[in-house]
Amino acid sequence: MGSEAIYKKYPKNEASNMIAMLQDVQEIHGYLPEDDIIRVAKHLNVPTSRVYGVATFYNQFRLTPLGKHVIRVCRGTACHVKGSLDILQTLEAELGISAGETTKDLQFTIETVACIGACSIAPVIVIDDKYYGGLTGKSVYKLINEYKNKD
């Protein structure tokens, strides 16, 4: 479905369609561009601030695009005890961003998660759905440079 199809799919002035519309917009773009948030508000005849409020309240919505490579750092108990904070800090230093941010070149996004469910290989990160466990700061540095050199 293209962006125009979304606005044809949902009747005007029906605010009850807001979440579904935002989900469709994000499905197309990978995030919620500001122009579309404004357009959804106009289409539904609600204040833009209300649409922003919904978009920022629910964790499923993103206001910025994700990077080509999404790095999820487990912060669960087993990973924490085994040094996931060091892993996170190494990633942040190497990429020049904090958790929840994307590099300016849109190559990497760092996210933290409560648990990945791979405690036996803690500390664990997932990059593009591939699991890496038993990490150290040095191995994370090497891993990130491998991804940089792939691109």
State the pLDDT confidence band at 2, using cuts at 50, 70 and 90. low
Residue 139, domain CATH: 3.40.30.10
Residues 53 and 84 in one domain: no
State the pLDDT confidence band at 3, using cuts at 50, 70 and 90. confident
Helix axes 84-95, 137-150, angle to 10 degrees: 40
Residues 53 and 8 in one domain: yes
The pLDDT assigned to 59 comes to 83
Residues 50 and 77 in one domain: no
Q: How many Å apart are CA 144 and CA 151, to the nearest integer?
A: 11
Residues 26 and 86 in one domain: no
pTM for this structure?
0.76
Range of the domain at 114: 69-150
| Chain segment 34-88, per-residue pLDDT in tens | 999 999 999 999 999 999 999 999 988 999 899 999 999 999 999 999 999 999 9
Residues 73 and 142 in one domain: yes
Residues 26 and 75 in one domain: no
Residues 83 and 125 in one domain: yes
